[in-house]
Amino acid sequence: MIDATLLDSMLDVVGPGAAIAHRTGVSDQRIGPRFWFLAPRNVYECSDGWICMSGSADSVAKRILKVVGGDALEHDPRFATNADRIASVDALDALISAWTSMHTWRDAVQILADAGAAAGPVYSAEQLIADEHVIAVAPWPWSITLTATANCCSLRRPRASHAPRVRFATLVSVGVRAPRMC
């Protein structure tokens, strides 16, 4: 059994902003999926959905640039280094967005993967649970019971006997209330 807290994992997922603010007192504020210190890194709209992409290393960023705009873009001095890409991030995102808009999300992810770039789909809940990889590795089975008269959704999944379980989440027209723990 692996014991991990959700807080630890989420702090890691949101990036180094919290650690930087803790050490320096400087907050990067809300920036969406971008990192203020890394480009390209964002979500981009395709013809039928969205993808996320990260060019965290110069070599990966160069691969993305070559896919998006060929040799000319790969060697464009505005995007030569990460610092250059950060200084020109809006232009860079516009170029990538123009490219992704001409592709389906599946094609864009495949083209980028074939080039050795990090990219993946941004899924809806329905797409997530239908993904073949998620089906193969997810902690299924989930058991979901909707009770229309009580506006409740009961969600149960396999768990360790001592782990807390979300038992009921009340669904209301103005939003979702915090779950009650059992």
* pTM beyond 0.85, yes or no: no
Domain count, the chain: 2
Instruction: Give yes or no for a contact between 78 and 90, defined as CB atoms under 8 angstroms apart.
Output: no
The pLDDT confidence band at residue 135, using thresholds 50, 70 and 90, is confident
CA-based Rg of the chain, rounded to a whole angstrom? 21
106 & 151 share domain: no
> Is there a single domain that holds both residue 36 and residue 118?
yes
Q: Is residue 13 part of a domain?
A: no
Residue 26 included in any domain: no
Q: Would the pLDDT of 177 be above 80?
A: no
Claim to verify: residue 162 and residue 86 sit in the same structural domain: no
Is the same domain home to 58 and 94? Answer: yes
Domain boundary among 106, 130, 154: 130
Minimum mean pLDDT range among 57-66, 122-131, 145-154: 145-154
Report the C-alpha gap between 101 and 23 in whole angstroms: 39
The range of the structural domain enclosing residue 163 comes to: 139-181
Q: Which of 86, 94, 80 is nearest to 31 (CA)?
A: 86
Examine the domain organization and report whether 93 and 156 are in the same domain: no
Same domain, residue pair 118 and 144: no
Do 41 and 122 reside in the same domain of the chain?
A: yes
> Does residue 125 sit in the same domain as residue 48?
yes
Q: Same structural domain for residues 86 and 149? A: no
Residue where one domain finishes, among candidates 107, 130, 153: 130
Residue 88 confidence class, pLDDT cut points 50, 70, 90: very high
The per-residue pLDDT for 172 is 42
What letter represents residue 144's amino acid?
I
pLDDT for 37 beyond 80:
no
Give pLDDT, residue 42.
92
Q: Which residue has the higher pLDDT, 17 or 80?
A: 80
47 and 119 part of one domain: yes
SS3 label, residue 8: helix
Report the CATH number at residue 35: 3.30.1540.10
pLDDT at 143 over 50: no
Percentage of the chain with pLDDT > 70? 62
